Structure 1
């Protein structure tokens, strides 16, 4: 796509928000009954009762979307009557150069120009232990689902809905109809029911999520535990990420590497 307007001026990059995400050691923060330990609840000012969220990803058996740095997620939240579909394109950030990644994404059409179908993509920098990733995300909520039921529609229906509601940027990413064709051949990776605890830290709303992954080969359940908060300020993201890391490390809770929930669910449920 042409990065220039007809006036010859560069199109404006999107302005991202920032989400700091850090992994916690499951054995250190969870009880044998897979509840949060009291010290974790008090340190992060977390509510003791989590909200349950059913999460699944759609991709082809060969993970064609993932290999193109796209993900398509379906989500149901307990207490809500909606199905949320999320279409996300990720860009790796090299050497911490966030602005370069934003400019690169702009050349693909992720900028402040209106899209042809009116679908907005929001920019976010996912700020992990060491790795930073730029994501461009478009969400669509569909109403009319049972409030206290976390179930997804049958796979064929979910494929049809995700294809019908997809933004044009995704549908026509490589060639016309690329995304549509991929979703028509997709399978559902998962789903898995996530526990989300809400809390606060340093004046920021903070979430802690517990993701279970059931290995079908040995029926063993593994867990990813992640704590996250959002900010609109890059300097704040940098300073508070370090401060939270130091606090979690002092408690012996911090996982000293980056963890990807999306990659994990595609790997564990890929068969």
Structure 2
């Protein structure tokens, strides 16, 4: 099994943990989970919101627009992410190469230094993400606060990347129109706990999301980076085996953006 031809691609394993098994009533990791996953104190707390219109027009074209703030820093972080699904579970290099070829038709590729490339392997779903990141100072925000709707729309429009503005599947001006009529999805607060499992650095991320019925529920994800597709596939298998043995693995894919946009 070979890797992508570029060292710029990052590989990430994303799995869901059962919050009823690894968190206490306050959403904090239990003693058992803390010990088994070698969890430290939260290394970073972040709050994020997503921008899309009521019909999820951006998401329907594979684009995700996120506004995030780390801790109480005096700037916000914009991310414009084009996501492509990989056929199968990401095991086959040929399937990854096909996605790269498809993305190339939209002028997205590992050779573009404006976009980071990440291959995500979850339970059964795999994606390739091309992400354009920008930072912008937004003075006057209170601790844990994100910009409101009108400011968020203006920020998204001001920093809109050319590849989204000229998205080949849509007419000129489509992206600007969607951004101008977008609404806020979120905010979502996330605590990130650094840790280790299987002698590999990992991070456990805990968020509070609304379920389909509107009730608040905990979303607990464990992620780990890998250098190659082969390493990511092997790591996913090892992680799933370990977490199943503990009784902690949720047999579902860990892509919370779809849940947030759907609420």
| TM-score, length basis structure 1 | 0.86
Which residue number corresponds to residue 142 of structure 1?
Answer: 136
Q: Which runs of 5+ in 1 are unaligned?
A: 1-11
Change (3 A) 1:223 1:167: same
Aligned with residue 202 of structure 2, among 193, 202, 206: 206
Which residue number corresponds to residue 226 of structure 1?
Answer: 221
Which residue number corresponds to residue 14 of structure 2?
Answer: 21
User: 1-side partners of 2:211 and 2:197: how far apart?
Assistant: 34
SS in 2 for 1:153: coil
Do residues 175 (structure 1) and 171 (structure 2) align? yes
Which residue number corresponds to residue 251 of structure 1?
Answer: 246
| 1:79-228 mapped onto 2 (5 Å cutoff) | 79-95=72-88, 96=90, 97-112=95-110, 120-143=114-137, 145=139, 149-173=143-167, 174-214=170-210, 220-228=215-223
Aligned with residue 59 of structure 1, among 52, 58, 80: 52
Q: What number of residue pairs does the alignment pair up?
A: 252
SS in 1 for 2:201: strand
Change (3 A) 1:260 1:233: same
User: 1-side partners of 2:42 and 2:232: how far apart?
Assistant: 27
Whether the 8 Å CA contact 1:13–1:111 is kept in 2: the answer is: no
Change (3 A) 1:265 1:89: same
Q: Which runs of 5+ in 2 are unaligned?
A: none
Do residues 42 (structure 1) and 35 (structure 2) align? yes
SS in 1 for 2:123: coil
User: 2-side partners of 1:205 and 1:144: how far apart?
Assistant: 33
| TM-score, length basis structure 2 | 0.88
Query: Where in structure 1 do 4 or more consecutive aligned residues deviate above 6 Å?
Result: none
RMSD: 2.2
